[in-house]
């Protein structure tokens, strides 16, 4: 399959050859991958109208010119393609240290999450001021774009602004069904997903040290039950991704 690139500008939905100016970010990738004039590429813009999915897809193109800072392509055909899950899933993820958040965003994108919502919590080790938070969000959005380029998604997952647990749970329960992942959950994630699969879903994952009793009580007060993945306690960077895989399998998106 030709390499795929996200275009920040809208692409023509056409079956007729059209000349295109390529974005500077794409030009840089062309050089990194050592592509040449005449090589095939695939472009997508993620600008699907949510009310009408018929324009969702990708553009097959060929590199026409390639210079150091400038490149053009010949758009050959728009291909309507739908690779999204039937589930609308938000991963509400407590901030994790190091490159763990990069991993979580990358794999959540590959696993079909609609949104990744980072949250602060009492035991969150990673502390970010406003400036650093803005930079991290921009970085994570770039990670999501790269993951979409790799996995074939033509819609970018939303990376929400960092919020408090209370804000995130209130928003999630207002929009659909929300549950908190916990080793002592009274119901399996599989059964909970099957019961609520017609709604927007949000699964909340705690930090390395887990949520406090007060935070769990807060989530439950908003109507978010405790659900479990099984008998083992998973690390924060493992738990959310395993949960997404289980939920997508329930909907037939995986497996």
The pLDDT value given to residue 61: 97
Stretch (H or E) spanning 44: strand 40-44
User: How are strands ordered across the β-sheet holding 4-6?
Assistant: 4-6, 40-44, 57-66, 71-80, 18-21
What is the residue whose two structure tokens read 């039950």? 225
- The end-to-end CA distance of the chain, in Å, is 22
pLDDT reading at 51 higher than 70 = no
pLDDT grade, residue 252 (50/70/90)? very high
Tokens of 58: 């990708």
Domain boundaries, the chain: 4-80, 89-250
Give percent above pLDDT 70 in the chain: 97
Q: Which fold has domain 89-250?
A: Alpha/beta knot (3.40.1280)
The 10s digit of each residue's pLDDT in 103-142 is: 999 999 999 999 999 999 999 888 888 999 999 999 999 9
The pLDDT value given to residue 108: 98
Integer Cα distance of 42 and 153 in angstroms = 12
Q: Does domain 4-80 have CATH number 2.40.240.20?
A: yes
The average pLDDT across 35-43 equals 98
The pLDDT value given to residue 179: 96
Tokens of 34: 């050592």
Report the SS3 class of residue 57. Answer: strand
Stretch (H or E) spanning 194: helix 189-196
pLDDT reading at 11 higher than 90 = yes
Contacts of 21 (CB under 8 A, 6+ apart): 70, 72
The pLDDT value given to residue 53: 58
pLDDT grade, residue 55 (50/70/90)? confident
Domains 4-80 and 89-250 belong to one CATH topology: no
Instruction: Write the CA distances from 60 to 12, 56, 78, 174, integer angstroms.
Output: 11, 13, 6, 40
Contact 208, 125 (CB under 8 A): yes
The 10s digit of each residue's pLDDT in 191-246 is: 999 999 999 999 999 999 999 999 999 999 999 999 999 999 999 999 999 999 99
The average pLDDT across 64-79 equals 96
The pLDDT value given to residue 33: 96
Which DSSP category does 115 fall into?
E
Tokens of 187: 């119901």
pTM, whole model, 2 decimals? 0.93
The average pLDDT across 91-106 equals 95
Contact 227, 181 (CB under 8 A): yes
């Amino acid at each position: 399959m030709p390499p795929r690139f996200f275009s920040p500008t809208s692409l023509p939905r056409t079956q007729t050859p059209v000349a295109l100016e390529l974005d500077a970010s794409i030009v840089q990738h062309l050089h990194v991958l050592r592509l040449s004039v005449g090589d095939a590429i695939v472009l997508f813009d993620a600008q699907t109208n949510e009310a009408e999915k018929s324009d969702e897809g990708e553009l097959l193109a060929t590199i026409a010119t390639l210079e150091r800072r400038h490149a053009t392509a010949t758009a050959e055909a728009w291909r309507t393609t739908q690779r999204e899950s039937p589930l609308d899933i938000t991963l509400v993820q407590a901030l994790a240290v190091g490159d763990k958040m990069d991993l979580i965003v990358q794999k959540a994108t590959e696993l079909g999450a609609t949104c990744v919502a980072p949250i602060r919590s009492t035991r969150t080790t990673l502390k970010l001021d406003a400036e650093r938070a803005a930079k991290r969000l921009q970085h994570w959005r770039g990670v999501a774009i790269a993951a979409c380029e790799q996995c074939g998604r033509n819609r970018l997952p939303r990376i929400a602004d960092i919020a408090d647990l209370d804000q995130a749970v209130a928003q999630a329960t207002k929009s659909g069904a929300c549950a908190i992942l916990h080793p002592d959950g009274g119901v399996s994630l599989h059964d909970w997903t099957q019961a609520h699969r017609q709604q927007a879903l949000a699964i909340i994952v705690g930090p390395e040290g887990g949520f406090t009793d007060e935070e769990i009580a807060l989530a439950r007060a908003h109507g978010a039950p405790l659900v479990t993945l099984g008998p083992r306690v998973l690390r924060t960077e493992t738990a959310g991704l395993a949960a997404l895989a289980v939920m997508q399998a329930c909907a037939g998106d995986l497996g």
